[in-house]
Amino acid sequence: MINTIDKRAVVLISGGGSNLQALIDAVKSKELKLIISAVISNVDSAKGLNKAQKADIPTSCIKHNEFSERINYDRALLKEIEKYKPDYIVLAGFMRILTPYFINQYQGLIINIHPSLLPKFPGLNTHQKAIDNKEKWHGCTVHIVTEDLDGGPPIIQAKIPIKKDDDSFTLSSRVLKREHKIYKKALQLLISGELEYKNKDIWLNQKKLTGPIEMLF
């Protein structure tokens, strides 16, 4: 039987940390059987660091602006992460593009949440892009991180309709609520072994997925 108790994650953040808080809450309620070993930010003012400290999670900050080369930043970040020997690296609003060097050290073990229905709207300003593109639907995606920016295999998506009077603020706040629900779900599926990433595909209960699991709310 797979041991679901001991999996450990380091969470990387850059900002408010509402996704981090949702994960902390899910760990507390035992919905997510994960140990958050540390939270690391690239910005020392990230509010998420206080959220971690309140939950007695070790925190550190490796400031990206102290490194002129991206690869040197990633090496320093890896060195900090390795102290905790995590099974997973969870990106929760971490606003940095990771180098292939970093990604290759934890192949298939870095997970991200992105605020769009990937492959639509990778990168930034996804909510405005969805509105400008006159999309009917928008949402968020949990995916495995590969060298392809926001292009790794998707695990779960949550889809919501765009309302006529939505602006990027109203839309982002509705999407964020869904992010908080699907991230913990995706991580628990991975940790429990129900969901696996192998040969560049996602498998759910030994069946290869042809697309992300869709969660409706």
Residue nearer to ligand GRF on the CB measure, 183 or 206: 183
Residue nearer to ligand GRF on the CB measure, 172 or 188: 172
Closest approach, Cβ 50 to ligand GRF, in A, equals 12
Are 13 and 93 within 8 A, CB to CB?
A: yes
Task: Give the SS3 label for residue 73.
Answer: helix
Residue nearest to ligand GRF (CB): 93
**Interaction site with ligand GRF (CB under 6 A):** 13, 15-19, 48, 92-93, 113-115, 176, 179
Gyration radius of the chain over CA positions: 17
Residue nearer to ligand GRF on the CB measure, 31 or 194: 31
Within the chain, residue ranges assigned H as helices are 18-28, 48-54, 70-82, 100-105, 126-132, 168-192
- Terminal C-alpha separation, the chain: 32
Residue nearer to ligand GRF on the CB measure, 18 or 37: 18
Which residues are bridge partners to 143 per DSSP? 112, 154
**Cα distance between residue 12 and residue 86, in whole Å:** 12
Quick one: which of 188, 183, 192 has its CA closest to 215? 183
Closest approach, Cβ 70 to ligand GRF, in A, equals 19
Closest approach, Cβ 189 to ligand GRF, in A, equals 18
Q: Two tokens at 52?
A: 């971690």
Catalytic member of 64, 114, 127, 138: 114
Residue 127: active-site member: no
Closest approach, Cβ 204 to ligand GRF, in A, equals 22
Catalytic positions, please?
A: 114
